[in-house]
Amino acid sequence: MPDGISRRQFLHTAAVATAGLVRPSSARTAAPLAELSRKLAGSLIVRGNAGYGQARRVFNGRFDEFPAAVAFCAGEADVQRCIEFARNYALPISVRSGGHDNGGYSTCNDGLVIDLTGINHVRVNPSSQSADVGMGVKIGPLYRELWAHGVTTTAGTCPSVGMGGLTLGGGIGPLVCKYGLACDNVISASVITADGSLLHASAAENADLFWAIRGGGGNFGVVTKIELRVFDVPRVLNGSLVYPSSQYSDVLRFYRDFLQSAPDELKTGLSFDTYVSSPSQLTLSFCYTGDLTKGKRTASALMTFGNPEASTLQAQTPPGAFSESAGPSGIPSFQTGAFFPDLTDDLIDMICACVAAAPPSAEFGFDDLRGASTTGNSAFPIRDRGLSSWISADWARGADGSAAKAWVEQTQEATRPFAQGVYVNRLNEDDRSRDRAAYGASYDRLAMIKAKYDPQNVFRMNQNIPPAI
Ligand SMILES: Cc1cc2nc3c(=O)[nH]c(=O)nc-3n(C[C@H](O)[C@H](O)[C@H](O)COP(=O)(O)OP(=O)(O)OC[C@H]3O[C@@H](n4cnc5c(N)ncnc54)[C@H](O)[C@@H]3O)c2cc1C
């Protein structure tokens, strides 16, 4: 009987396995996995164990994979043991922080999932305006922990997204125009590479690796923790405006002109969605960080345009202001994205046409990248001003998602002539041909660094960069 489970649990899972609901571990790895389990400080949930059904799941219900085991790592030694084990038994490795990957790479069939959610500490160092952050922490708890010390940082807006995937791919949040991407604010990192070495990466040490992990995704090793810059942001001004489809074209033209002279203190976003109404509605949201009197002046220039159906404006403290509510886990969803340097008249017309055809529970959203996001010195390749978009559609569990998926693909295709690259964290597994484009001008250097730190492409369950030959 495997370690750590009762006879009752064992009989139950054996019965379920016999009924074909879960596949038992292969004979080749069953005994070695039990051995690995004994060596870990954290826990190993092997296929067939109680809790496996939950452990194998990721945020997006579209992915229904059956890894051989999920290792809930308690620390760096656990991660090292898992990498060694997976290499010895030639198992694919999926690295999981918040489990929100759009390509489903943080789970796999018959491989080993290295789950980092147990490595989730947040320790603020007030003297250096930084925090030590475990890469398994999710955005919501991160903001809350930082705020307990009166500071905040540059992460995303969905509280259940993990800091691991978000930061290594870039990290776009409410402070991006003022303080840059999440990856731009990493001061140093601990990385366990394919050969099991624990390396410290910073501007002074393993500088090539340090450059690569900030935008190059999970290609170079498992990043267990980072030192992150934090900021004093006592309050921000948050607002939103909701418009019906009859005003889309005018609002988009106004918005484009407004952005030309918008201050870096202001981060805006657009979202056309059919979650609450069909046809769609447009929400223009904004967050002003800085002097609130100036913020109100900026906000009023935005808020006086058109005839919004609803509007909000409030001063808020960071945790509440930065995290939207997390959507439910387990809903099947298909997402992709594109970066648009210019909101041209033709693109505006195309967006309006695509949105008019949107199925229920669909979204075409845009993050406005300007200011500090254009200046970072890391592998993140999108350093122009512009709009980073995501195109997504959900469907009910068990329902046919083909129409939703088709709309996402058609919208991506229709807007492709206006796009220049894509934010890597928006890509799905069908986008493999765009992985290279997502790394843009950084690709060749990233492939050289990959060859140095992971020549056998052990970390390939990601928007992959094969090692340069
Ligand atoms: C609902 C939703 C909201 C989102 N909102 C935002 C947003 O506001 N801003 C934004 O920038 N992006 C956003 N994204 C995109 C998000 O950044 C990516 O999906 C990201 O990959 C999620 O990270 P994760 O840790 O949750 O995912 P995971 O699936 O756990 O990880 C994603 C991938 O990153 C790699 N990885 C993760 N952790 C590590 C690690 N510690 N070491 C090495 N490799 C690792 C692995 O390759 C893994 O497959 C959103 C996505 C969703 C689904």
Q: What is the CATH number of the domain that holds 100?
A: 3.30.43.10
H or E element in which residue 313 lies: strand 310-316
Helix (H) or strand (E) holding 191: strand 186-192
Are residues 248 and 275 located together in one domain of the fold? yes
Report residue 130 as tokens: 């930084």
Sign for the pseudo-dihedral over CA of 261, 266, 270, 276: negative
Same domain, 174 and 257: no
CA of 161 to the centre of ligand 1 (A): 6
Please report the pLDDT score of residue 2 as a whole number: 34
- Could you tell me if residue 326 is inside a domain? yes
Which tokens sit at 380?
């993140």
pLDDT of residue 329: 94
Q: Which ranges of the chain have pLDDT less than 50?
A: 1-24
Residue 126 lies in a domain: yes
Helix (H) or strand (E) holding 199: strand 198-202
Where among 71, 98, 115 does a domain terminate? 115
Query: Residue with structure tokens 């019965």?
Result: 15
The verdict on residue 461 lying in a domain is no
The Cα 124–Cα 164 span in angstroms is 18
User: Looking at the structure, do residues 379 and 256 belong to the same domain, yes or no?
Assistant: yes
Kindly provide the b/e burial profile for residues 293-305, where b requires at least 16 CB atoms within 10 angstroms of the residue's own CB: eebeebbeebbeb
Which of 58, 78, 101 to mutate to test ligand 1, by most ligand atoms within 8 A of the CB atom?
A: 101
Structure tokens at 131: 């925090």
Per-residue 3-state assignment (H helix, E strand, C coil) for 350-394: HHHHHHHCCCCCEEEEEEEECHHHHCCCCCCCCCCCEEEEEEEEE
The residues lining ligand 1, judged by C-beta closer than 6 Å to any ligand atom, are: 59, 95-102, 105-106, 116, 135, 156-158, 161-162, 164-166, 168-173, 217-218, 222-223, 327, 425, 461-462
Residues 172-214: tens digit of each pLDDT: 999 999 999 999 999 999 999 999 999 999 999 999 999 999 9
Q: Quick check: 223 and 188 in contact, CB under 8 A?
A: no
Residues 369 and 347 both lie in one domain = yes
Measure the CA–CA gap between 47 and 325, rounded to whole angstroms.
32
Are 39 and 146 contained in the same domain? Answer: no
Query: Is 130 in the same domain as 109?
Result: no
d(CA 400, ligand 1 centre) in Å:
26
Same structural domain, 358 and 345: yes
Query: Measuring CA to CA, which residue among 154, 151, 140, 218 is closest to residue 367?
Result: 154
**Residue 276 resides in a domain:** yes
Residue 463 resides in a domain: no
pLDDT at 28: 83
CATH number, position 196: 3.30.465.10
Give the position, in ligand 1's atom list, of the atom nearest the Cα of 182: 11
Q: What is the pLDDT of residue 25?
A: 56
Q: What is the CATH number of the domain that holds 287?
A: 3.40.462.20
Closest residue by Cα to residue 308 from 299, 316, 317: 299
Same domain, 190 and 53: no
Q: What is the amino acid identity at position 432?
A: R
100 and 224 within one domain: no
Best residue among 76, 154, 168, 223 to mutate for probing ligand 1's pocket (most ligand atoms within 8 Å of CB) is: 168
- The protein residue whose alpha carbon is closest to atom 21 in ligand 1 is 165
Spacing, Cα 53 to ligand 1 middle (Å): 22
Asked if 142 and 101 sit in the same domain, the reply is: no
Q: Helix, strand, coil shares of the chain as percentages rounded to 5?
A: 35, 25, 40
User: What is the structure's pLDDT at 325?
Assistant: 72
d(CA 100, ligand 1 centre) in Å: 5
Residue 460, domain member (yes or no): no
Domain end (from 65, 85, 115): 115
In a domain? residue 33: yes
Choose one of 96, 115, 134: the last residue of a domain.
115
Compute the distance from residue 246 Cα to the ligand 1 centre, in Å.
35
Same domain, 406 and 393: yes
Range of the domain at 328: 236-436
- Choose one of 59, 97, 108, 429 to mutate for the ligand 1 pocket test, by most ligand atoms within 8 angstroms of C-beta: 97
Amino acid at 75: G
251 Cα: distance to centroid of ligand 1 (angstroms): 31
The alpha carbon of 196 and the centre of ligand 1 are apart by a number of angstroms equal to 23
Indicate whether 241 and 355 sit together in one domain: yes
pLDDT for 322 equals 84
Tell me if 385 is assigned to some domain.
yes
Closest ligand 1 atom, CA of 98? 26
One-letter amino acid for residue 452 of the chain: K
130/152 Cα distance (integer angstroms): 10
Angle subtended at Cα 216 by Cα 177 and Cα 101, rounded to the nearest 5 degrees: 85
Question: Containing H/E element for 248?
Answer: helix 248-260
| Distance from the alpha carbon of residue 98 to the mean position of ligand 1, in angstroms | 6
Number of domains comprising the chain: 3
Q: What is the pLDDT of residue 7?
A: 34
Instruction: Give the pLDDT confidence score for residue 328 in this predicted structure.
Output: 87
